[in-house]
Each structure stands twice: as C-alpha cells, then as structure tokens.
Amino acid sequence: MSRFAKVKTAEKFELSTYKYGFSMPENYVFKAKKGLNEQVVAMISKMKNEPEWMTIFRLKAYQIFLGKPMPEWGADLSDIDFNDIFYYLKPNIKTEKSWDDVPSEIKDTYDKLGIPEAEKDYLGGVKAQYESEVVYGSLQKKYSDMGIIFCSMDEAVVKYPELVTEYFGKLIPSGDNKFAALNSAVWSGGSFVYVPKGIKVDLPLQAYFRINSANMGQFERTLIIVDEDSYVHYVEGCTAPIYSTDSLHAAVVEVFVKKGARCRYTTIQNWSTNVYNLVTKRAKVEENGTMEWVDGNLGSKITMKYPAVVLAGRKAHGEILSVAVAGEGQHLDAGAKCIHLAPDTTSRIISKSISLKGGRSSYRGLVSMAPGAKGARSKVVCDALILDDKSRSDTYPTNKILENEVTLEHEATVSKVGEEQLFYLMSRGFEEHEAEAMVVNGFIEPIVKELPMEYSVELNRLIQLQMEGSVG
C-alpha cells in the first residue's frame, strides 16, 4: 500500500472518532457487525472507557430489553428487525458513503432551503461538521464562565460522575419501556446540560453546535438539570431533513426542573422516511417550576413519542406543544403526558396534526391527577387537519382523575381543508398548493410562533415544500 493510501485511511478513522466521541483501535473498524448481545453491550461500554457502574447499568438494561415484549398498542412496529441494526460504530459504512448516495429528494430539499454545501454534507450524513468547531469553541468558553456544563453525555459520565449518578436513569428507568431499555443498554451521544442556581441562559443551547460527538445519533441520551431559579432553552437538531441509513432511532431524554426554574426543550424531527423514531422524553418539575416541550415531527416512517411532565411540586407547570405532519407512508403517533402529583399544578397540551398524501397521524395523550393534587388544572386542545381522502387522523385521550377538586378541559377538532376554503384563496391568484399551504401554515401557527425565529421560517418553508406536488 502506498503512503498516500495510508494517510487516507487515517483520515477516515479520525473522522469517525471525531463524530462518535470515543476512540477505538484502528483494526476495530473492520470488525463492526450487526446484531446485539451481551458482548456487544460490554464492548460499547469498554470502548467508551466507562466506569463499572455504567457497564452494569447497560448490561442490566439489556436483560430488561430482552424480557419486554414489543409494544402493540400503538403504531405497527412488527417490521423492526433488531438483528439487522448496528448498535455501535460502523465507520466503514459512515465514512465511505458519498454525496451520490443521498436520495435526490433530500438533496433537492437542501437546495430549495439554500443550505450551504458544508452543511448539506453534514446533514446528509456524509461527514462530520468540522466547520462549526470555532463557533462551538467560543460558546463553550461563554458557558463555562457562567458555570454551565454543556457537553456530550459520553464525556459527562467520565467528567461529572456525581451529577450523572444522581440523575441518570432516575426519571426514565431502564424498565420504563422496551425502547428505553434498549437505549439504556446501547446509548451513545446526546447532550448533558447542567445550569447552576439562578442562571438564566439567554441564548438557546443548540445541539447542532455541540459537534464533538454525534448529535443526531441513533441511540442518543440526553440529561438536563436546571437548578433552582434558572432558565435554559435547549434546541435539539434542526429543521432540515436528516438522512440516515439507520432504520431505528431510540432516544431517551430526561429533564430535571428544580424549584422556580424553567426549561424549554424544542425539537424539530425531520428524519428520512425510512426511520423508526421511538423516543422517550420526560421531565420532573418541582415547586413553581415550568417545563415546556415544543415538539415538531415532520419526518420518519413511524414516530412514537409522548413527551411527559411529572408535576411533583406545588404550582409546578407543564406545557407540551406539538405539531405533526404525516405524509405518504408515514404514521406519526405523537402526544403528551401530564402527571399531576402536587396541589395547584397546571398543565396545557396543544397538539396539532396534519395528514396528507395517505399519511396517518394520531394524538395519544394522558392526563393523570393523583390523590392530593387539589386545585390541579389541565387543558388539552388537539386539532387535526386532513388534506385528502386517503389520509387519516385518530385521537386517543386518556384521563385518570383520582382527586375531586380539579379542573380538566378537553377540546378536539378534526377538519378537512375544504374545497370552499381553497377556492376562496385561489380566487386571489394563488395556486392550489399555495392555497393549501396557507391553510396548513395558519393551522399550525399557534405552535410555530413558539419556535425560535429561524426555525419557524424554515418550518413553514418545509411544509410548503411538502405541499408541492401533493395536488395534481
């Protein structure tokens, strides 16, 4: 082999190391194989140089995963083949993938969104985003001066063992559900955030810029702790479509909101439509604290995601604002859970779903009020918009009310974009798809206005793109 060839190999190797945030022997590259067993779980832990407790945690979670049946109450998961998935680094696949392999509809979307070349490569999974290193570096300095910890979860396990052992897996134990168990066994990547007491972080923390590990990993694990009277807005991912060859994305996100603190967590999920997106998200909110989940689901083949707030302290408040756009071949089963455990706790759920081109969206929600949650109030609004006769929308609300002195409101609407509405807008000179997009954008406006500016603009444009060609 020539010297040049060798250099090239080394480059590839560095890339993968960089992207996944841990190192491994070079020859290991060629040993990656599909499937899961105890050895694979142990190997993942070993490669990350994890402390023993985490290795044990993973192995236990793997046993729980094996013992749990596939959930059958929601979307159809019967096509998932756990033996056909890579559970750890597969650099020879990732790095050899070229721009040519990225599906043309995704490339077109990048072009229409005007995303720069470097970002296209990154979003397309072709390479890691070295270019953002400078940006990230300067933010890191600012955060650390304020005492904020913002790093990859992998790094946190080694660097901040006290915090991690106190909170990790405490809100979403491995036994919570089959996919939380799977994540607990094989997790990699994700963010760790700690905001000390009384700190209000003015700019949103964006996983997008935390690039020294895979921020869009397959089994990412995120843990956020917002200490008393602090505020943070965490933004996961970005609105541009993420192309992934991985068929399964099972993330776990735990958020602890302390007394008087507030956390907002914004996600716009836009996986390519071959991905099963099965995510467990939960926040625990203490006295006078506020948790807000702002959740957008555009992509994936199947999504099952029900961000939860556990309102554990008096006057704790939770909000879950979500929007789902289900197109051809997609089933988005999304919703929310509000668990009221303390008096005078309040919650609000606003769910908006759009079904088009034969897509299916479901709202699945739980409001639970425990004995003693006197004065608890909750309001649920779920609106569905169906664009054509091929598409479908369902609502599955569950209420468990075990206390008398509470208030619960539930409103649900299902509407179709009517001929009259389209005719009206078209009579002003707008093409049918433009008219349809106007109705749709109007419909989701209550959610979009909660998003950071650049996200709301991009979300509207993405929906517009999805509308194009949807009508003849």
Between 151 and 447, name the residue whose CB sits nearer to other proteins. 447
Q: How far is the CB of 431 from other proteins (least distance, A)?
A: 5
Q: How far is the CB of 464 from other proteins (least distance, A)?
A: 12
Cα angle 423-427-429, degrees, rounded to a multiple of 5: 125
Residues 422-441 vs other proteins: string with x where CB under 8 A?
-xxxxxxxxxx--x--xx-x
213 in Cβ contact with 155 (< 8 Å): yes
As to burial, measured by CB atoms within 10 angstroms (0-12 exposed, 13-18 middle, 19+ buried), residue 162 is: exposed
Per-residue CA distances from 272 to 29, 106, 149, 150, 208 (Å):
26, 8, 31, 28, 18
Which residues pair with residue 351 across a beta bridge? 322, 382
Q: How far is the CB of 455 from other proteins (least distance, A)?
A: 17
Task: Single out the residue of 444, 462, 463, 467 in contact with other proteins (rule: CB under 8 A).
Answer: 444
Which residues pair with residue 304 across a beta bridge? 278, 333
Which helix (DSSP H) or strand (DSSP E) does residue 424 occupy? helix 419-426
Between 99 and 423, name the residue whose CB sits nearer to other proteins. 423
Q: How far is the CB of 448 from other proteins (least distance, A)?
A: 9
Between 323 and 342, name the residue whose CB sits nearer to other proteins. 323
| Binding flag, residue 446, other proteins (CB under 8 A) | yes
Contacts for 358 with CB less than 8 Å, ≥ 6 apart: 327, 328, 329, 388, 390, 391
Residue in the structure block whose two tokens are 């696949």: 93
Backbone angles phi and psi of 165, in degrees to 5: -65, -30
| Binding flag, residue 469, other proteins (CB under 8 A) | no
The stretch among 120-128, 192-200, 356-364, 421-429 that binds other proteins (CB under 8 A) is: 421-429
| Binding flag, residue 158, other proteins (CB under 8 A) | no
d(CA 315, CA 260): 10
Task: Single out the residue of 445, 450, 461, 470 in contact with other proteins (rule: CB under 8 A).
Answer: 445
Between 25 and 472, name the residue whose CB sits nearer to other proteins. 472
324 in Cβ contact with 361 (< 8 Å): yes
d(CA 201, CA 69): 42
196 in Cβ contact with 228 (< 8 Å): no
Closest CA to 257 of 287, 221, 284: 284
Between 255 and 294, name the residue whose CB sits nearer to other proteins. 294
Between 80 and 414, name the residue whose CB sits nearer to other proteins. 414
Q: How far is the CB of 458 from other proteins (least distance, A)?
A: 17
| Binding flag, residue 467, other proteins (CB under 8 A) | no
Give the β-pairing of 149-152 and 191-195: antiparallel
- Site size with other proteins, rule: CB under 8 A: 23
Backbone angles phi and psi of 171, in degrees to 5: -95, -35
273 in Cβ contact with 242 (< 8 Å): no
Give the β-pairing of 331-340 and 377-386: unpaired
Rounded (10°) CA dihedral 325, 317, 145, 253: -50
Between 304 and 425, name the residue whose CB sits nearer to other proteins. 425
| Binding flag, residue 421, other proteins (CB under 8 A) | yes
Q: How far is the CB of 432 from other proteins (least distance, A)?
A: 7
| Binding flag, residue 443, other proteins (CB under 8 A) | yes
Among residue numbers 397 through 416, which ones bind other proteins (CB under 8 A)?
none
Q: How far is the CB of 384 from other proteins (least distance, A)?
A: 14
Cα angle 234-238-243, degrees, rounded to a multiple of 5: 135
| Binding flag, residue 389, other proteins (CB under 8 A) | no
Q: How far is the CB of 441 from other proteins (least distance, A)?
A: 7
Q: How far is the CB of 215 from other proteins (least distance, A)?
A: 32
Q: How far is the CB of 185 from other proteins (least distance, A)?
A: 43
Chain residues in the site for other proteins (CB under 8 A): 418-421, 423-432, 435, 438-439, 441-446
